[in-house]
Amino acid sequence: MTEIAFHFNAPDKLAYACRLLRKAVASGAKVVVVGDEAFLQDLDSQLWTFAPLEFVPHCRAESPIELRMASPVVLTTQLSDGEPLPHHQVLLNLAARVMPGFEHFERAIEVVTLDEQDRLNARLRWKHYADRGYAITRHDLKLKESA
């Protein structure tokens, strides 16, 4: 069963996603990132520039299969009905809703900002997972900050 983790109180979803992906790639994890097109375009740009001496290798789901297989991070707007995804280790969901197909991943991570609408959407996603019997781990980033 997929492990679900919510990372609450991220001050900036884009910056947090970049740091999370950098850490994941450094540890050898393979990550699929799902979100809306505009956010993924911003993330794609940030992954090239957010740290001067670091690049997080990534590609889009529409990239040639060889590139998708070689890339530890794949960006996509959907998990099904498109090009096949090369790995199913970690899903980073940056969308407002639960993505159909999340259950094919070993782990799913949800990032939640301080924005009230984002928190409301997160509560609905939490309920979706909980109603289906998934164990959920909560990470409060605000508590980590103050520690």
Share of the chain above pLDDT 70, in %: 95
pTM: 0.94
Radius of gyration of the chain (CA): 15
pLDDT of 146 over the 60 cut: no
CATH number of 3-146: 3.40.50.10110
Exposure class string for 13-25: b at 16+ Cβ within 10 A, else e = bbebbbebbbebb
Q: What is the pLDDT of residue 126?
A: 98
